[in-house]
Amino acid sequence: MYIRFFLILMCTLVLAACVRIETKTEQNTFQSTMAALEVQSHSQIGLSAVNMETGKKLEWRADERFKMASTVKLPIAVSVLHLIETHKLTLDKMIRIEPYELVPGSGKMGYFLTKPGLELSIYNLLEPMIAISDNTASDILLAEVGGPQAVRQYLYNNGLTDIWIDRTILQLFLDSSGLTYIPSQKQRSLQDWKKRFDAVPDEVELRIAERLHGDTRDTTTPKAMTALLSQIQEHKILQPREAELLLEIMSHTENKSPRIGKLLPKEAKLMHKTGSWWGAVHNYANDVGIIVTPKGEHIAISVYTASEGGSSLEMQAQAIAEVANITYNALS
């Protein structure tokens, strides 16, 4: 363990002194560092990053597929804001939410929705979907834009063909638990969902976990997500007003488990969206966003991790922090 840590530390220090990853020696150092981090975190790591002013890039498994988890909420938000800018939706449109629409992973909204009668504007759904990763807000907004296929088609139309959105968040929970029966609306509640998920036998959870690990639905490549981030920052996929609104909301993302921002200098700014999914065997921890350097340069970065067993979300979060620090030192 200590030997591995020393290897990671030394490789990181060497790479931090590099302004570019161009020479063979620098490339070998980078590869050694990433390989060591994968061993340390018991995970596969995917990285795609680009300095949008200089064009310098850093990649590792950038074309491999990783589960998006809650980073899927970024393209959902983009689709919502596209309908805003084309006047098909408005930010102040009020949407009524019923208790039976609550999705697991929506604790804060569940606190306010114990009885019928909650209405929220689209803006007040966008904020919790991104900032606190509320799953109910995500599925409500996903329905507003026409469902997973509508978002996927919009991404395709903008050249983003490797971000695959196939299911709602609720469908993801159902598929990952093995539940095939959806209770009636009157029976649904966060407490009821928890009881049903807790009742799934361990052997069923293990079997499903292995099957889902190889499922390519609701996955992306790090390169594709970085391309989306770049299009947001450059006001290509959204008009300036909507793009800047999204980036502002992304700057509010809670950091209960610090990832990209953990080791960055205090002077750097970060707008990002995290994603986590934990299962009986494999964990998935991600973070994607825009880093603004003190010089005003913008680094679009996507870091994805998939554990191979023996890992934890904390270990993966630390690996993401290390990768982000390496990237910042190499590209800024």
Supply the CATH number for residue 287's domain: 3.40.710.10
Q: What is the pLDDT of residue 113?
A: 80
Alpha carbon dihedral 27, 331, 304, 106, in 10-degree steps, equals 170
Q: 60 lies in a domain?
A: yes
Pair (203, 76) in one structural domain: yes
Instruction: Decide if pLDDT at 316 tops 60.
Output: yes
pLDDT at 237 over 80: yes
Q: Is the residue at 30 inside a domain?
A: no
Is residue 182 within 8 Å of residue 234, measured between CB atoms?
no
Domain presence at residue 98: yes
- Residue 148 gets the label, from left (phi > 0), alpha (psi -120 to 50) or beta, of alpha
Residue at 144 is within a domain? yes
Together in a domain, 162 and 99: yes
Structurally, how many domains does the chain consist of?
2
Please give the model's pTM, rounded to 2 decimal places.
0.90
Query: Does 236 map to a domain?
Result: yes
Query: Is 76's pLDDT higher than 90?
Result: yes
pLDDT at 3: 43
Stretch 173-196: mean pLDDT, rounded? 80
Does residue 13 fall inside a structural domain?
A: no
**255 is in which domain, residue-wise?**
41-67+221-331
Q: Is residue 27 part of a domain?
A: no
pLDDT, residue 192, reads 83
Answer with the one of 213, 235, 256 that is the final residue of a domain.
Answer: 213
95 and 196 part of one domain: yes
Answer whether residue 1 is part of any domain. Answer: no
Task: Please say if the pLDDT value at position 183 is more than 80.
Answer: no
Query: Are 200 and 244 in the same domain?
Result: no
Judge if 189 and 290 occupy the same domain.
no
Question: Tens digits of per-residue pLDDT, 141-156?
Answer: 999 999 999 999 999 9
Q: Are residues 235 and 194 in the same domain?
A: no
Q: What is the pLDDT of residues 270-311, one digit of tens each?
A: 999 999 998 778 999 999 999 999 999 999 999 999 998 778
Instruction: Please identify, among 154, 182, 213, the residue that sits at the C-terminal boundary of a domain.
Output: 213
| Mean pLDDT for the chain overall | 90
Query: What's the CA angle centered on 275, arms 272 and 276, to 5 degrees?
Result: 150
- Report pLDDT digits (tens) over 10-54: 444 444 433 345 677 888 899 999 999 999 999 999 999 999 999
Q: 200-204, 218-222, 236-240: lowest mean pLDDT where?
A: 200-204
176 lies in the same domain as 235 = no
Q: What is the mean pLDDT of residues 321-326?
A: 98
- Answer with the one of 186, 213, 240 that is the final residue of a domain: 213
Q: Are 78 and 94 in a shared domain?
A: yes
In terms of domains, do 163 and 230 share one? no
> Looking at the structure, do residues 193 and 84 belong to the same domain, yes or no?
yes
What average pLDDT score do residues 207-218 get? 90
Listed residue (226, 231, 266, 293) closest to 58, CA to CA: 226
